[in-house]
Chains A and B, each alone.
Chain A
Amino acid sequence: MKHNRPAYLLIAPYLLHFSVFIGFPLVFSFVLIFHRWDIISPMEWVGLKNVHRLIHDRLFWQALWNTAVFLFLHIPLQIVVALFLAVQLNQRIALRGFFRAAFFVPVIVSGVVIAILWDKLMAYDSGLINHFLASIGLPKIGWLIDHRLAMPSIALVATWKNVGLYIVLFLVGLQGVPRHLYEAADIEGASGWQKFWNITLPMINPTVYLVVILSTIGGFSLFIEPYIMTGGGPLNRTLSALLYIYKQGFFFYHMGYAATLGFAFAMLVMLVVLIQRKLIEQEVGY
């Protein structure tokens, strides 16, 4: 190893950018946790008050609970639907490219468009979905206004938006499963379901893991769907982690507390991802 001036010149812009836009905010976030600040008046040292407030903040726990509800619906649904459609596509069929491209459309369209569109589709009185239910003689459903259903509805929309990406990831995984494993199973007389359960699923487990992690990070970053569709209601049941940080920061100008929330939620994402990794490693030992 030696000093290499050109190398340092190439790296310098990155280090500068990192120091200003990641390093400094990182340090500053620790400072903010101990302060109250509305940006306009001077910062005020409040010791552990923000932490104390967080522990007793009903809305913080509500947002955490909402995120858990979202993830418990979103992750299994995402995996089952994506895997099912990927298996259907991983056959000798015509138009495979067309189907794959069609499923991918919601992935590339802005979340803003998706949220506005589904807000209209799920509307109680004028929405197309309730219109359909009524036309086949079923009662209307309060997709976004019933406090028990609002978060499941948003989880449904988020799944609809992302599933095309996971279909593609699963397809890549499925194509990596060696053919001879299936041929061997055929000789043994295994059923289609047995082959799926004993060959396909273990082989594509890294992809399952990836989907779980990406969906978890996505759940903690949920923002635009509740912001547009419900505003966090009804009864705060769709208040997401990020929406709550945003509200504390930009409705109330509690910057110290908003930073404390950000810190807490960031630690929680990392903790949840770590636990998931341990669980999945134990389960399959890959």
Chain B
Amino acid sequence: MKSFWRYAVLVLATLIFVYPFMWMISVTLRPEEEIGGFGLWPKTWTLQNYATVFTKIPILRAFGNSLLVSLSVVVSVILFCSLVGYALSRLQFRGREAISNLVIFTMVLPFQLTLIPLYLLVVKLGWADTYLALIVPFMMSSFAILLFRQFFKSIPQDLIDAARIDGCSDLGIVFRIFWPLSIPAIITVGIISFMGIWNEVLWPLMVIHKQELMVMPQLVTLFALGGASEGQLGVQLAAATLLALPILIAYLFFQRYFIESLATTGLKE
């Protein structure tokens, strides 16, 4: 009896978390006049809402922009932060402590502090309405550096010594020894920085005004708020669904990695 109630609670909770998305998708697949009520199965199936989105806004272009920006940031973060993490965990040099403290300081610094000055800097550099504005400020991540530093501490010193005897450089040690042994850390950093940059919307709203350079969340936000969607529920939700879909599909296949990676945000403080 006790376990019956437990399952009842869990099923109810599942409905609360998942039903709104199912309703959203079902609404986008029916004509506007059929919207209303809780049913998930459209009487008349149509892709008209999606056709309208594709003709009104360059959503595919925005998807491409999002992909370009996110992948650039992820590659840069993994590359540069693993090198810094390696130096901070395995090399002896003057100023190591100071730099570790600097990284920690950067992580606890609230971003509200630097938001406006950073925007002004980007404008003065002439980067407004360029990909540079979306990518370059996010090419490093303190969180990633600290995660790599932590992970690299557990790799045996013998491996480094042996590689050095073979004449391996520091870059060689990181790429050929540390990377293959750090796949979980690389996946975690990859997913966290990808999700962070893919979902970012405030910064693009500040620095991008040309429609063809907009990333997906920004384009969909402005479409839903602006006049182009003409207040049509089905069309607005179709745009939202297109924004959700890539991540939902990735989540379907790699949910364990998503959950475990994002849970390490817990290590942040």
Contact = CB atoms under 8 A, between A and B. Distances in A.
A and B part of one assembly: yes
A182 interface: no
Given A106-B17, A117-B24, A259-B117, A2 B10 contact: no
A177 interface: no
A31 to B, nearest CB: 8
A107 B106 contact: no
B239 to A, nearest CB: 8
Contacts of A91: 3, 6
A6 B225 CA distance: 51
B259 A112 contact: no
A113 B237 CA distance: 8
B9 A88 contact: yes
Contacts of A266: 109-110, 112-113
A20 B152 CA distance: 27
A34 to B, nearest CB: 13
A109 B91 contact: no
Contacts of A29: 113-114, 116-117
A105 B251 contact: yes
Given A104-B255, A168-B263, A269-B112, A85 B13 contact: yes
A128 interface: yes
Contacts of A113: 24, 220, 240-241, 243-244
B36 A220 contact: no
Contact of B121 (A24, A118, A242): A24
Interface centre among A103, A110, A132, A246 (most CB of B within 10 A): A110
B263 A110 contact: no
Nearest to B251: A108
B213 interface: no
Contact-residue bracket for chain B: 35 or more
Contacts of A101: 255, 259
A108 B247 contact: yes
B248 interface: yes
A29 B112 CA distance: 10
A228 B84 contact: no
Interface string A148-185: 00000000000010001100110010000000000000
Interface centre among A32, A117, A168 (most CB of B within 10 A): A117
A234 B15 CA distance: 30
B226 to A, nearest CB: 11
A142 interface: no
Nearest to A121: B20
Given A105-B21, A168-B259, A266-B110, A4 B14 contact: no
A100 interface: yes
Nearest to B87: A10
Given A103-B13, A117-B240, A22 B106 contact: yes
A104 B14 CA distance: 10
A126 B233 contact: yes
B202 interface: yes
Interface string A255-275: 100110011011001100000
Closest 3 CB pairs of A and B: A25-B117, A266-B113, A266-B110
Interface of A: 1-4, 6-8, 10-11, 13-15, 17-18, 20-22, 24-26, 28-29, 32, 37, 39, 85, 88-89, 91, 93, 99-113, 116-118, 120-121, 126, 128, 131-132, 160, 164-165, 168-169, 172, 207, 210, 213-214, 217, 220-221, 223-224, 227-228, 241-242, 245-246, 249-250, 255, 258-259, 262-263, 265-266, 269-270
6 contacts: A17-B139, A21-B121, A25-B113, A101-B259, A165-B263, A165-B265
